[in-house]
Amino acid sequence: MATTQVAKVSFKEQMLQAREDAIIQTVNRLLSEKGFDAMTVDEVAASVGIAKASLYKHFPSKEDLAAAAMVKVMQRAQRFLQSLDPEAPPMDKLKAVARWTMEVQLAGQMPSLPSQNSTLRNTLMASREYMDGLMDVSDTLGSWIEAAQAKGLLNPQLPAIAVLYTLYARACDPVLEFLKTGGQHTDAQIVDLVMSTCFDGINAR
């Protein structure tokens, strides 16, 4: 009986986890499409296919719901960083990260950041999980940036923090959406274009 019960609980937990993953995936899509303020909890529930009250059993508030989605994205980023060959040149890894973030955005899975002073921002800043992930990612990228600057591959006159923010901003760059709406370029071409403007600038060389 004991083994059956254990198996049963494990199965239930798996189902629970799967549902929460589905919720968060939906939230990430909506956050990417319309942002936190325009996204409604009704929408999320309807899109996932469960009742709103059920949603609130999983997450205590809209802010926590969005925060959980942001944490998931941050974890995904951490996994991506860890998947890169530690022996690879830092500059290559930075370019791979920039490219990856743009691809995630074009896939509609990159939530637009709450740059304004919103309630979500407060929740995020209070989230240990999110902040730890952000710190970890920033530390890793920061070390790569400094290494690339030391090698003379990144402009050493720029503060590392400015480079870091510039890369972060590319993950939410509206230019990608603009160009996609234009319909004149494929996703791959759009990524290449923004990679070029990000690293080489718009000046001629």
183-192 LR contacts (CB < 8 Å, sep 24+): 187/103, 187/106, 190/102, 190/106, 191/99, 191/102, 191/103, 191/106
- Per CB under 8 A, does 42 bind a copy of itself? no
Which does residue 199 touch among a copy of itself, DNA, none (CB within 5 to 8 A, set by kind)?
Answer: a copy of itself
Amino acid sitting at position 134: L
Which region, judged by CB under 8 A, interacts with a copy of itself, from 17-25, 43-51, 67-75, 165-173?
Answer: 165-173
- Per CB under 8 A, does 41 bind a copy of itself? no
Looking at the Cβ atoms of 41 and 96, the one nearer to DNA is 41
How crowded is residue 158: how many other Cβ atoms within 10 Å of its Cβ? Answer: 13
Looking at the Cβ atoms of 54 and 155, the one nearer to a copy of itself is 155
- Interface size with a copy of itself, residues (CB under 8 A): 50
**Of the candidate residues 54, 165, 186, 188, the single one contacting a copy of itself (CB under 8 A):** 165
Applying the rule CB under 8 A, the residues between 90 and 149 that interact with a copy of itself are: 112-113, 115-118, 149
Q: Are 111 and 70 in contact (CB under 8 A)?
A: yes
Residue 150: burial class (beta carbons within 10 Å; 0-12, 13-18, 19+): exposed
Which region, judged by CB under 8 A, interacts with a copy of itself, from 42-50, 56-64, 81-89, 150-158?
Answer: 150-158
- Per CB under 7 A, does 42 bind DNA? yes
- Per CB under 8 A, does 156 bind a copy of itself? yes
Nearest to 98, CA basis, from 77, 71, 68: 77
CA distance 156 to 201: 16
Nearest to 101, CA basis, from 167, 43, 7: 167
**Of the candidate residues 26, 29, 63, 190, the single one contacting DNA (CB under 7 A):** 63
Which does residue 97 touch among DNA, a copy of itself, none (CB within 5 to 8 A, set by kind)?
Answer: none
How crowded is residue 56: how many other Cβ atoms within 10 Å of its Cβ? Answer: 15
114 Cβ neighbours under 8 A, 6+ residues apart:
36, 120, 121, 124
Residues in contact with a copy of itself by the rule CB under 8 A: 33-35, 37-38, 112-113, 115-118, 149, 152-159, 161-163, 165-169, 172-175, 177-179, 182, 184-185, 193-194, 196-205
